[in-house]
Amino acid sequence: MAVKVAVNGYGTIGKRVADAISLQKDMEVVGVTKTKPDFDAKMAIKKGYRLYAAIPDRVKVFESAGLEVEGTIEDLLKEVDIVVDCSPNKIGAENKKLYEKLGVKAIFQGGEKKDVAEVSFNAIANYEEAVGKQFVRVVSCNTTGLTRLIYTIKKNFPIKKVRATMIRRVVDPKEDKKGLVNGIQPNPIKLPSHHGPDVQSILPDVNIITAAFKVPTTIMHVHSVAIEMEKDISEEDIKSAFAEEPRIMLFNSEDGFTSTAKIIEFARDLRLRYDLYENAVWEDSIGVVDGEVYVTQAINQESIVIPENIDAIRAMLELMDKEESIKETNRTLKIGVLD
C-alpha cells in the first residue's frame, strides 16, 4: 500500500515534490497547502491535488475567492504518514511544533537551520543516516550540488580540502518584486557562506570553505570548485567518476553548452518545466593542476532537491534501501536519461 504524504507549501519546491511523488508507486499525495487562493492554488486543484489551508485563519479567504479547501493543515496531517514541509525559509521551524504535537514525521528544506532536524540529508552521501528518523532536512540546492560532486570524487579518491565559489541566481524566475538588477552582491560579505558548513553537516570530515555572490540572473547557480587531493589523480579519473553517477550530467562546450542559458534550453526540450535534477558539470572544465582538481558546474535551483525529497521519504519510512530507492527515483524522474 502506498504511504500517505502531505506537502505543506505548494510553491516552487512543493509543486515539484508533489508531482514527483505522484510518479512513485509506493507513495501518494494526500493533499497540498497554500495560504493564498492564487493561480497556483487553482492549478493545484486542476491537477487533482486536494487543497488545504496552510494557516487555519485563511480558510475564509479561500472561501471568499470561491475556492473550496478540504480543511486546514491540521486536518491534512491527521491523514498522513509524513509531511514534506516546503514552506518559505524559517517557517518550517515554526511548523515543526504542529508536527511534533501530532506525531507526524517531517522533511524540511534547506532554508531551515541544521538543528530543525536530526539529520541533514543527501541521498547518495548519507541515505542510511535518515532511515527511520522523525525529522530530516534536505539541504539547500547549492549544498546538494556541492555534496553530490564532492561525495562522487571522495568515495573513490581521498581529498584534502575543498574551496568553492558560488555564483548564485538572485531569485527564482517567478519572482517579480524589486531586487538586484545591475550589480554583484557578495552574499554573505563575511566568509564562509552557509554552504561549506552545510556540506559538513553531511560530510563532517571534509575541509571546505565556500564563498557566494548573487548576480542578476534567475535560471541557475554556477559553482567554481577547487579540490586538493591526497593522492595523484587524472582528469580521466574524475570524468569517469562523474560519468558513473546518474545525478551528475556532463556537458561539453564543443556541443554548444557555452553558458547556463544553453543548458536550460537543452533542459526545456528534455523535461517538464525544464527541471534538471542533475548537477550540470562542464566536462571540459575538469582539470588537474599540481594535484588539485578544478571543475565548474551549474545547478538548476528549482529542481535539484526534488529527487532527494523522494529518497528521504523512503529512508524515513523504511520503504527501500539506498540503492533501490535511488534507482527507482532516477527511473521515475528519468534522471541520467537523455530521451
Ligand X SMILES: NC(=O)C1=CN([C@@H]2O[C@H](COP(=O)(O)OP(=O)(O)OC[C@H]3O[C@@H](n4cnc5c(N)ncnc54)[C@H](OP(=O)(O)O)[C@@H]3O)[C@@H](O)[C@H]2O)C=CC1
Site of interaction with ligand X15 (CB under 6 A) = 89, 110-111, 140-143, 168, 301
Residues contacting residue 79 through CB under 8 Å, at least 6 positions apart? 4, 6, 30, 31
Site membership for ligand X, residue 109 (CB under 6 A): yes
Closest CA to 5 of 317, 249, 318: 317
CB under 5 to 8 A by kind: which of ligand X, ligand X15, none does 142 bind? ligand X15
Site string for ligand X, 1-40 (x = CB under 6 A): -------xxxxxxx------------------xxxx----
Shortest distance, CB of residue 224 to ligand X, whole angstroms? 19
Stretch that binds ligand X, among 19-27, 98-106, 107-115, 224-232 (CB under 6 A): 107-115
In angstroms, the CA 235 to CA 250 distance is 13
CB under 5 to 8 A by kind: which of ligand X15, ligand X, none does 120 bind? none
Side-chain-side CA neighbours of residue 194 (13 Å): 13
Count of H-run helices and E-run strands, the chain:
12, 15
Establish whether 141 is an annotated binding residue. Answer: yes
Which one of 76, 84, 104, 141 is the catalytic residue? 141
Shortest distance, CB of residue 301 to ligand X15, whole angstroms? 4
Q: Which is nearer to ligand X, 119 or 305 (CB)?
A: 305
Number of residues that bind ligand X (CB under 6 A): 29
Set of cell numbers at residue 179? 531586487
Establish whether 183 is an annotated binding residue. Answer: no
Site string for ligand X, 36-75 (x = CB under 6 A): x-----------------xx--------------------
Site membership for ligand X, residue 305 (CB under 6 A): yes
Establish whether 12 is an annotated binding residue. Answer: yes
Shortest distance, CB of residue 201 to ligand X15, whole angstroms? 13
Q: Which is nearer to ligand X15, 50 or 137 (CB)?
A: 137
Site membership for ligand X, residue 136 (CB under 6 A): no
Q: 179-187 — which CB contacts under 8 Å span 24+ positions?
A: 179/216, 180/214, 180/215, 180/216, 181/216, 182/216, 183/216, 184/213, 184/214, 184/215, 185/213, 185/214, 185/215, 186/211, 186/212, 186/213, 187/212, 187/213, 187/214
DSSP codes, 23-86? T-SSEEEEEEEESS-SHHHHHHHHTTPPEEESSGGGHHHHHHTT-----BHHHHHTT-SEEEE-
Establish whether 182 is an annotated binding residue. Answer: no
Dihedral (CA of 311, 42, 81, 92) sign: positive
Find cell 563532517 and name the residue. Answer: 204
Q: Which is nearer to ligand X, 61 or 209 (CB)?
A: 61
Stretch that binds ligand X, among 64-72, 183-191, 297-305, 321-329 (CB under 6 A): 297-305
Q: Catalytic residue at 86?
A: no
Dihedral (CA of 18, 20, 22, 26) sign: negative
Q: How deeply is 220 buried, as exposed, middle or buried, from its count of CB atoms within 10 A (0-12, 13-18, 19+)? A: buried
Binding residue numbers: 12-13, 111, 140-142, 169, 195-196, 301
**Interface positions with ligand X (CB under 6 A):** 8-14, 33-36, 54-55, 86-89, 91, 95, 109-112, 140-141, 172, 301-302, 305
Binding residue numbers for NAD(+): 12-13, 111, 169, 301
Please give the positions annotated as active site. Answer: 141
